[in-house]
Amino acid sequence: MTKLSEAMLEVAKIITHVRTGTTTAYGTTTTMIDNTMTEPDDYWNGGYLWTMGLYDKEGVTPTDYVRSTGTVTFTPALLTSWASNMPYAIMGREYTRSQLVTAINQALADLGAYLVEIAYLTTVENQCDYNLPVSVTDVISVEIAQNTQEPYDYYEYYWWDEIHTTAYSILRLDYDHLPMPGYKIRIAYKLRPSALSVDYASLPPGVPLTRTSRCVTGAPCRARPASTSPSRPSGCTADGGRWPAGSFRRRNGRSRRSRSPRPAPARARPGAR
């Protein structure tokens, strides 16, 4: 997954001057040396330095820069000293790390909820209710595996409902359409991203880095809002009983059970007024 530090670097490359290069000499846990730099003294002070060769793009804040030696002093201290010929990226103080992080979090919020799929439940004989993790809500689809091992070959299962309680949500399967026991249940649901703060935090899965960067820089990026689920009666009661036929409904509002066709309207007799 894309890390926050990677997103910060991509955004910085768009909105400000970012120098990428490799070190030319050994540094310390608080200094990095590249004597090919041409920027004036203190140019990088207060900016951000990505330690690409040490901690996978996690960064530190430059506090001093000397052009004559190409030495950048930074804080906090690293656990490992900089070696020679190691890649890095650095930006000046035009923008701060805090501004980049705030902009990225706002862009993620603008993108809206993203799709997540989990398959940790397994069908149990004659069981209707399955407890969902606390973070799972607004389920949009349920699939049942056709095989007990890979490839699972999931098929869409329509006879389900999501019941909300004060502590967690329950996935409730229709008593009259219970699947065979011992097969995985795959659930898709919408999840809104939480705010990121540390460099190694991961962006939501499936969110392209380029799209996040465009959002930060002002390009249109708003995603459709997460769909909400209409309130529907359950198809399986708490004691294992059943609701009347025709009471269980699909997400699109159509009945999950077959209904008798409506009678055709009576036709007027010829000559009737």
Report d(CA 66, CA 41) in Å as an integer. 5
Q: What pLDDT is stored for residue 214 in this prediction?
A: 60
Q: Provide the token pair at 194.
A: 């939480």
**Which tens digit of pLDDT belongs to each residue from 111-158?**
787 778 888 899 999 999 999 988 788 899 999 999 999 999 999 999
Can you give the residue range of the structural domain that contains 159?
A: 113-191
Query: How high is the pLDDT of residue 249?
Result: 37
Q: Does a structural domain hold residue 50?
A: yes
Assess whether 117 and 186 both reside in one domain: yes
**89 CB burial (10 A radius; 0-12, 13-18, 19+):** buried
pTM: 0.61
Q: Is residue 162 part of a domain?
A: yes
- Measure the CA–CA gap between 157 and 258, rounded to whole angstroms: 16
Does the residue 258 lie in any domain? no
244 pLDDT above the threshold of 50: no
- pLDDT value for 215: 64
Phi then psi dihedrals of residue 2, to 5 deg:
-70, 135
Q: For the chain, what is the domain count? A: 2
Strands (E), 112-216: 114-122, 129-131, 139-144, 155-157, 160-164, 169-173, 184-191
pLDDT band for 94, please (50, 70, 90 cuts). Answer: very high
Confidence at residue 210, expressed as pLDDT on a 0 to 100 scale = 64
**End-of-domain residue from the set 36, 59, 94:** 94
Q: Is it the case that residue 41 has pLDDT exceeding 90?
A: yes
pLDDT tens digits along 152-206: 999 999 999 999 888 889 999 999 999 999 999 999 988 888 899 998 888 887 6
Residues 174 and 125 in one domain: yes
Predicted pLDDT at 237: 43
Kindly state whether residues 117 and 61 are assigned to the same domain.
Answer: no
Question: Of the residues 132, 163, 191, which one is the last residue of a structural domain?
Answer: 191
- Residue 16 banded pLDDT, cuts 50, 70, 90: very high
Can you say how many angstroms the Cα of residue 31 is from the centroid of all Cα atoms in its chain?
35
Same domain, 120 and 88: no
What amino acid is encoded at 196 in this protein? L
